[in-house]
Amino acid sequence: MADSNFIDYVKVFLQSGHGGGGSRHFFRAKGLPKGGPDGGDGGRGGHIILEANPQMWTLIHLKYRKHIKAEPGVNGNRNLRIGASGEDIVLQVPIGTVVKDAETLEVLCELTQPGERRVFLPGGRGGRGNAFFKNSVNQAPEHAQPGEEGREGWFLLELKVLADVGLVGFPNAGKSTLLSAVSAAKPEIADYPFTTLVPNLGVVAHRDFTSFVMADIPGLIEGAAEGRGLGHRFLKHIERNALLLFLVPCDAPDVVEQYHILLGELERFNPELLTKRRVLAISKTDMLDEELLGQLLDGVRPRLPKDLPLTTFSSVTGQGLDHLKDLLWDSLNRSID
């Protein structure tokens, strides 16, 4: 059963607090029936603040919290007392969260660093009390400012998984099995398509105490770039990966053709994805003996770009996994240089 706790898309109404109004008050005391203005300023409205929390992996905590409003500022008072500011609301979101305007789909901000904080909707400023407007010409101003309105609107929050290596392949290509074989992640695995319905992350241990993060992205289908299935929901997670590992099983009708179909889906979704480093790996090679595997490679290599790294592996027997990890590590480091 799919993990229903993974939510990567929510629509919420956010509203920062209104500023408190300034006070229009004059000092009154026994023996001083007509004192000067002493109205204080209003308090600031509460901010809506976004904070990237590295311990969070989903937006489920916002799924049923559709209206989020910060407190208004308190009005100013006599004796120059300033109103209290409204309490800020700090929304914890996972690293990789993108915020868009719900109507225009304009990207308003992205949070990509642990602990990063953004004052997304500032609270309204408090109004000035009448004491502020006192001057040599006007000793008894009658007016004070109202508080500034807060900001509000409907916004889309989308999560894009952050990982070093993103697995790309058709359903049942062996992505989940690979992730479970090289990391401590335990994605659901079965011998039928669409076992993986949400992204899974795993930390892959490499030589000399180094490591990198691998993401098992749900399998693509032809037409995913046009939105078939949940194509757009899945493809967006690939945008933040530094390296793309294409998996094609050895029993595919045509390994090279499947690779180009996958590449075409990425290009139609976002042409910039083609600028990422790529590695092609042929999976499930335990199904072939050494002679058949050699024949397969002899037919595949001449039809691929010479600069595309190609390797084979079996997650079941472990054959080729160390070489695959070395290849991914070297490719990641070259992409940083």
CATH number at residue 143: 2.70.210.12
Beta-bridge mates of residue 285: none
**CA-CA distance, 201 to 183, in Å (whole number)?**
9
Residues 170 and 155 in one domain: no
**CA-CA distance, 203 to 216, in Å (whole number)?**
11
Residue 185 tokens read as 């992640």
Residues 102 and 206 in one domain: no
Candidates 164, 166, 180; CA nearest to 334 is 164
- Residue 34, pLDDT above cutoff 90: no
Residues 114 and 244 in one domain: no
pLDDT at 77: 94
Residues 37 and 51 in one domain: yes
Residues 155 and 187 in one domain: no
In this structure, the number of other CB atoms found within 10 A of the CB of residue 57 comes to: 18
Residue 305 tokens read as 């770009």
Residues 245 and 104 in one domain: no
- Residue 70, pLDDT above cutoff 70: yes
- What rounded mean pLDDT belongs to the chain? 85
In this structure, the number of other CB atoms found within 10 A of the CB of residue 112 comes to: 13
Domain boundary among 105, 140, 159: 159
What pTM value is reported for the model? 0.66
> Quick one: average pLDDT of 218-232?
48
Residues 130 and 212 in one domain: no
In which band, very low, low, confident or very high, does the pLDDT at 63 lie, cut at 50, 70 and 90?
confident
Residues 250 and 133 in one domain: no
Yes or no: say if 204 and 183 are a contact pair by the CB < 8 Å rule. yes
What domain range is 120 assigned to? Answer: 1-159
> Quick one: average pLDDT of 109-132?
94
* Maximum C-alpha span of the chain: 110
- Residue 162, pLDDT above cutoff 80: no
Yes or no: say if 283 and 173 are a contact pair by the CB < 8 Å rule. yes
